[in-house]
């Protein structure tokens, strides 16, 4: 249904490329909207990072009508439209299909994967949360809402479309998404869904690590990630899929150390677009809590099998990311020895500052205040000295 209310959203934040793609498909006779997180964010006053588009056009029709469009995926075919260094996802309206309908399909005519196309209403009702199921027509300035998402956004409530327990069993990652979105948007979680989260948390063990890794990165990009991890602990989710962190939260002193360090990520300029820096800041906070605030035996820490398991099997940290992180830990000790550095020749000084882990080591040192303000300023000057005056990685 079209909302009778005048849309209250930041239209000036809509990406002009996304707007042109929508209008291009509409001019070709296809029903086309912005949908999902971008519409939700526009309505709550958050500048969207991505703009997803939903249309009645099939993937190959989109490819023919929109320049620089490429069909991708097998299980779920959609179109990526490239504009410079940006890309936009254009998906055809989908519908849910019953087991009986699938069984009745002749094998040679079977539709592959999730490519059962439908109407905009059917597409809305197969999405996860009501707040993510609002469509917006930017050409005609209309909101389309079949699931009560507009009211839930106004009430700042996160509500599941359909039975929460069934939807969590269908895809356990929705549990993590629900908690993350509630913190990002400052929404309350609807009570039935909250009970289902607690009941279904063991289902997360069935989820695959790469998808959990992506969720952990999104958790760390929150403004206050430590509060979201605390809620994961309260809902007994950490013990299911992050038992290493659960053990930290079981000890009030360790929990406080972890939270204090994670809370400083924003202050020291951790690049939230870089998974390496996010994981490094998180792991440094974890290790400060687990091993204590004093100087560690770096060789013992590097060879700790429990730590290696936590990084690899629970967090999904890649080997290369772990390697740079441990280099940064090693460099942190050298950052406190400015006199030794000053005695080196210029070539060796340049090599030290150019080390791939140098900038990260400086940021981690700022997280735990192991360097004084004058020492931090000295290293920033060294970066600028050897980078020809370019901005430092801490800014």
The residues that are catalytic are 50, 52, 128
User: What is d(CA 138, CA 12) in angstroms, rounded to the nearest whole number?
Assistant: 11
- C-alpha count within 13 angstroms, C-beta hemisphere, residue 300: 5
The token duo for 78 is: 């959609």
Residues whose CB is less than 8 angstroms from the CB of residue 143 and which lie 6 or more positions away in sequence, other chains included: 2, 3, 5, 7, 39, 134, 135, 136, 137, 150
- Name the 3-class secondary structure at 242: coil
Give the whole-angstrom CA distance, residue 121 versus residue 146. 6
Instruction: Dump the DSSP string for 139-157.
Output: TTTEEEESSSHHHHHHHTE
For residues 129 and 188, is the Cβ–Cβ distance under 8 A?
no
| Angle between helix 373-386 and helix 358-367 axes, rounded to 10 deg | 160
**Integer Cα distance of 66 and 105 in angstroms:** 32
Pairing of strands 32-35, 134-137: antiparallel
Q: CB within 8 A of 331, min separation 6: which ones? A: 355, 357, 358, 361
Q: Please, what's the b/e burial string for 51-88 (b: 16 or more CB within 10 A of its CB; e: otherwise)?
A: bbbbbbbbbebbbebbeebeeeeeeebbbebeeeeeeb
Report the alpha-carbon distance of residue 203 to residue 222 in Å, rounded. Answer: 24
Q: Rounded distance, CA 278 to CA 111, Å?
A: 40
């Amino acid at each position: 249904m079209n909302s009778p209310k005048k849309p209250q959203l930041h239209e000036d934040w809509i990406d002009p490329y996304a707007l042109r793609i929508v209008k291009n498909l509409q001019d070709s006779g296809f029903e086309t909207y912005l949908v999902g997180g971008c519409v939700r964010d526009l309505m709550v006053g958050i500048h969207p990072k991505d703009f997803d588009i939903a249309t009645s056009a099939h993937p190959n029709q989109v490819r023919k009508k929109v320049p620089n469009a490429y069909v991708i995926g097998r299980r779920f075919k959609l179109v990526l439209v490239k504009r410079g260094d940006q890309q936009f996802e254009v998906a055809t309206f989908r519908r849910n299909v019953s087991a009986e309908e699938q069984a009745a399909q002749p094998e040679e005519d079977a539709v592959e994967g999730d490519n059962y196309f439908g109407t905009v209403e059917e597409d809305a009702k197969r999405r996860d949360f009501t707040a993510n199921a609002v469509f917006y027509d930017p050409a005609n300035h209309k909101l389309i809402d079949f699931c009560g998402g507009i009211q839930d956004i106004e009430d700042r409530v996160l509500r599941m479309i359909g039975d929460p327990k069934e939807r969590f069993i269908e895809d356990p990652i929705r549990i993590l998404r629900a908690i993350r979105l509630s913190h990002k948007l400052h929404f309350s979680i609807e009570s039935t869904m909250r009970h289902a989260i607690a009941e279904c948390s063991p289902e997360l063990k069935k989820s695959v690590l790469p998808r959990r890794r992506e969720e952990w990165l999104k958790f760390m990009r929150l403004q206050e990630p430590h509060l979201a991890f605390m809620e994961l602990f309260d809902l007994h989710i950490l013990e299911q899929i992050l038992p290493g962190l659960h053990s930290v939260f079981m000890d009030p002193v360790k929990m406080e150390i972890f939270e204090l360090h994670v809370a400083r990520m924003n202050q020291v300029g951790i690049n939230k677009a870089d998974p390496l820096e996010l994981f490094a800041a998180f792991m440094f906070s974890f290790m400060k809590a687990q091993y204590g605030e004093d100087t560690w035996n770096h060789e013992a820490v590097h060879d700790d099998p429990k730590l290696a398991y936590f990084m690899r099997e629970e967090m999904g940290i890649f080997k290369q990311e772990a390697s740079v992180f441990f280099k940064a830990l090693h460099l942190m000790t050298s950052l406190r020895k400015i006199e030794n550095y000053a005695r080196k020749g210029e070539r060796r000084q340049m090599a030290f500052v150019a080390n791939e882990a140098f900038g990260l080591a400086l940021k981690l040192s700022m997280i735990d205040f192991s360097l004084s303000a004058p020492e931090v300023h000295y290293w920033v000057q060294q970066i600028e000295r050897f980078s020809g005056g370019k901005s430092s990685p801490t800014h």
